[in-house]
Structure 1
Amino acid sequence: MPLDVRCKRCGEENLASDSNVCWRCLLTDRINKLLAGPDGEIPERLRPLAEAITGMPRPNSGWAWIHMNRRVPELLRGLAVGEIELSHDALDSLPRSRTIEYLRGLLVAHNCLPWRDEHLIAYGRWLTSKLDTIPDADHRRLIERYTRWHVMRRLRRDDSDQQPVTANAFLRAKQHTTVAIQFLQWLGDRGRSLDECSQHDVDAWFGNGTSTRGHANNFLYWALKQRLVSKLAVPWAPHGNGPLASEKDHVEALRALLLHETLPAAHRAIGIMLVLFGQPLARVVTMRMDDFREGPNGLEVKLGRDWIDVPEAAAAVIRVHLASRPGLSTAANPDCPLVFPGRMPGRTMHVYSVATILRASGIPAMATRSRAWIQMVREAPPAVLADALGVTPQTAMRYAERAGTDYLGYAALRSPRGPEGA
């Protein structure tokens, strides 16, 4: 006699528990109970969350999430009965944990809470604690003024149109702030305040110590603009050439990405964008599904102004990833527009974990990207590549100079408005 695997409640053939009730029915019962408000009904604002959890492709995962983490039912129940206000501020007031951040991500993904940039919030939180460590009141006021009106303003500009602040921008903001604090402390140890800073002091600061001292130029340029210091010559940190992979290593990296048997398809696809198109990892992980399309000649990608053909061997790897992006079977990323969704709802894969995994596979990101650009600028004018690959002409020119090409007088770069008035 054939085994009956139908749920005795809904009649669907599905994975079932010992009680012959399918996981979806069990999960629905649990969610309806946890999210029931004082009147026994799920509050209107929480219904999208309930529908997302109960409708997830693998309901047994949702059941496990609730039963293996005792904080989850506590938080869901608190939101339902009003013990926890449905707001970012209320969640911020709770002890920080990965569970709370995951739930926040779910609430944002399903429009129960408004979107916000978590890197921007994290910088503000970090800044508050950092200011508390500055013993000198004058220094503390200066740093607060610098960060509130310069550093955070730049982050908010990057945050426009719900384009999240990148991990690189977040870490750069922290480093600029930290080095500014160190500079003021160093100046104070020399018996000087900022308005007494001389050219000799600036030269001594930049002429000694580690290379990270160069990040003080951001603070000093701001101070000059605000007329907090007299006119000084502040050295601008040059763009270093950085590491460069050999042509042999570059070819081996591409071969490894195309043929690797254990590296996940997501990391292979990211590596291909790095090796073939010289894209920085921080940008690759933020790509969206509408950045790819099937064209008349095969897969195409849009990195700048135009659509670019992806070589078929590389396109095959990218298609494998696009067809099986991880994390879409949970309630976290339904219909996710991100090409490389991360573990947290609505967030991308972490750029530094990606870089670590690629490096372990013999593909150092910076050296590989530089080699890709060296090869490309030998074949096409820098400004044309800049338009096609979504970088500034100045960035493309730096690679052209490094490659020793003869495009240095390219007319579009001499125009103060850039190519086509951009």
Structure 2
Amino acid sequence: MRRTATELGIGAADVTVGLRPAGALEGNSCDRCGKTVKAISTRRTGERICKTCAMRPQLICVDCGHPREHDPKTTQDACPGCRGTARAQCRQCSRSIFALLPAKAQPRCLFCRARQWVRARLGETVSEPVDPRLNSFIVRLAATHDFPQLRQWFLRSPAATTLLTRMAHGQVPIDHDTLDAAAGDRGGRAISVEHLRRLLVAAGALPPREEYLARLEAAFARVIEHTPGEDQMVIARYVHWHVLPGVRRRLATGRDPQRTCTLARGMLYGPRRLVDELHSRGEHIGSLRQPVLDQWLARRRSDAISVSVFLRWAARHRLASSVNLPVPRMNDPMDFNDPDQQWELLRRCLHDHTLSPRTRLAGTLVLMYGQHASTIVQLRASHVTPGPPTTLRLGTDAVEISEPIATVLRHAATGTISTLAERGIANSFETSEDRWLFPGRGPGKRLGTEALLNELRRAGIRSRQARNTTLLTLARELPPAVLADLLGIGTSTADRWRQWAGGTWAAYEVPSHR
């Protein structure tokens, strides 16, 4: 395989990567890992690199534009060959750079070349400049250290780049509605369009919005549109008067947007199926009879809870007749860890450095403080007080975190540990100082709940069993009011755990602060 500097967007033919004949490299070792393999030769540096090292994440030297291996422990932007050599000034931004060309040629830095390349890709000309609202977006896009990744993004995301070009020339407005129309019914599954949205929001070209709530509203609008007969108005009232206000209240209290909106969407599946059943019988919600409901629930037991909530609301608003509904019952927790197993898992999270820092931190929060994965992924740097002592605010009161996890927590808050693989062009769009403790792969995006659960499973930690064991243990030792304030759970939830644990704290009163 041969990559030229033109393909990298560098300009002059200064970089080529090729493969030497197999026989010439027999018995030679890789200059990076020391393995005896067939090596890849890099002309500029003279390195012979094996395939494994060549596939590792690389950055681009800010001076020469040459790919170099990404080292998260260093913050230097130049490769070893360019540091300490003769330097010149960029003819456009006056930055001090390595003199690739003779001094009289006035070379340009990689940032200026990348910015010009991006504008050319967007079709900018002297007579037809790019919309000035995209200037900050282009500047951050060109500031990436991974220029090959930037080029690949333009080549592999035609839907997003075509839409961006149309925005740049004023053919479509720069707003969320344009992106929603491009995503269509796929919504969040239109990966390239949603990634472009996050980049535009991070650059300030678009105002931020709650994406999961916006997708939920669009899904509800489609459900209402396809609801048959006179029940369409009933479903519309239920959505706008009951479901959406409840979702907004939960989001205002800091609930996980993804989990909250997913549960809310599921609460409409049962009522929608009931309406379709009644429509096939030539009936509607207002004429619902008990025998018909009983027969339908006998076949659709999984929809009993959502249908019960809907019919109670409809009866209160006199949109349906009163019928006998099943009362949902909360099951007792059944899954627990053996105490020895719980302590062994906790010991691994505290002292096993073969686990990633993110796994160690998340596992400790589950095993010691009974935190749900959806709560853990929402923690930000503002929840951490570096101390001493180091504290983490999970509820109303902060809890003190002891070593060695305290060090991991401080590093996660300051972003000095590598929690994810190199994220390419998204790195140059990070601006928030209140960073996520568990960042995702997009600018300003947190790690998904399922991704964290999968990572814990690979470490042998089953979140439900570990969390149940921790809460049961803590409920035996702490009053419900204290447990709720420390862990951020509801007082009714803490009291149920007290009942399951068999504790008696009826006479306990929280001391007043004077």
Q: TM-score scaled to structure 1, two decimals?
A: 0.83
Match of 1:109 in 2: 202
Match of 1:137 in 2: 229
Q: CA deviation at 1:30?
A: 1.8
Q: Deviations over 1:260-314 (max 9, x none)?
A: 55543223322322222212211211111100121222x2101122221012122
Q: CA deviation at 1:39?
A: 5.4
Match of 2:6 in 1: none
Match of 1:372 among 454, 470, 491: 470
Match of 1:388 among 473, 486, 493: 486
Q: Deviations over 1:144-170 (max 9, x none)?
A: 322232212222333449x68622211
Match of 1:295 among 378, 387, 391: 387
Q: CA deviation at 1:130?
A: 3.5
Match of 2:246 in 1: 154
The CA distance in 1 between the partners of 2:215 and 2:132, in whole Å, is: 30
**How do 1:45-84 and structure 2 match up within 5 A?**
45-56=133-144, 58=146, 61-84=149-172
Percent of aligned positions with the same letter in both sequences? 25
The CA distance in 1 between the partners of 2:334 and 2:428, in whole Å, is: 41
SS in 1 for 2:428: coil
Larger Rg: 2
The CA distance in 1 between the partners of 2:309 and 2:140, in whole Å, is: 45
SS in 2 for 1:349: coil
Indicate how the Cα distance of structure 1 residues 111 and 309 shifts in structure 2: closer, same or farther if over 3 A, else same: same
Would the aligned equivalents of 1:105 and 1:332 in 2 still touch at CA under 8 Å?
no
Indicate how the Cα distance of structure 1 residues 206 and 127 shifts in structure 2: closer, same or farther if over 3 A, else same: same
Would the aligned equivalents of 2:427 and 2:443 in 1 still touch at CA under 8 Å?
no
Would the aligned equivalents of 2:89 and 2:97 in 1 still touch at CA under 8 Å?
no
Q: Deviations over 1:89-121 (max 9, x none)?
A: 111122453111111111112221111111112
Q: CA deviation at 1:48?
A: 2.3
Match of 1:31 in 2: 118
**How do 1:390-409 and structure 2 match up within 5 A?**
390-408=488-506
Structure 1: gaps spanning 5 or more residues: 413-418
The CA distance in 1 between the partners of 2:409 and 2:372, in whole Å, is: 17
Match of 2:406 among 315, 318, 321: 315
> What is the CA RMSD across the aligned residues, in angstroms?
3.5
Match of 2:342 among 239, 243, 250: 250
The CA distance in 2 between the partners of 1:196 and 1:292, in whole Å, is: 56
Would the aligned equivalents of 1:281 and 1:365 in 2 still touch at CA under 8 Å?
yes
The CA distance in 2 between the partners of 1:235 and 1:14, in whole Å, is: 75
Q: Which stretch has the larger CA shift, 382-391 or 179-188?
A: 179-188
Higher-RCO chain (CA-CA 8 Å, sequence separation at least 6) = 1
Match of 1:333 in 2: 430
Q: Which stretch has the larger CA shift, 185-194 or 369-378?
A: 185-194
Indicate how the Cα distance of structure 1 residues 406 and 263 shifts in structure 2: closer, same or farther if over 3 A, else same: same
The CA distance in 2 between the partners of 1:290 and 1:75, in whole Å, is: 36
The CA distance in 2 between the partners of 1:342 and 1:60, in whole Å, is: 21
The CA distance in 1 between the partners of 2:483 and 2:192, in whole Å, is: 43
The CA distance in 2 between the partners of 1:147 and 1:157, in whole Å, is: 14
Q: Going by fraction, where is helix more abundant, 1 or 2?
A: 1
Would the aligned equivalents of 2:213 and 2:257 in 1 still touch at CA under 8 Å?
no
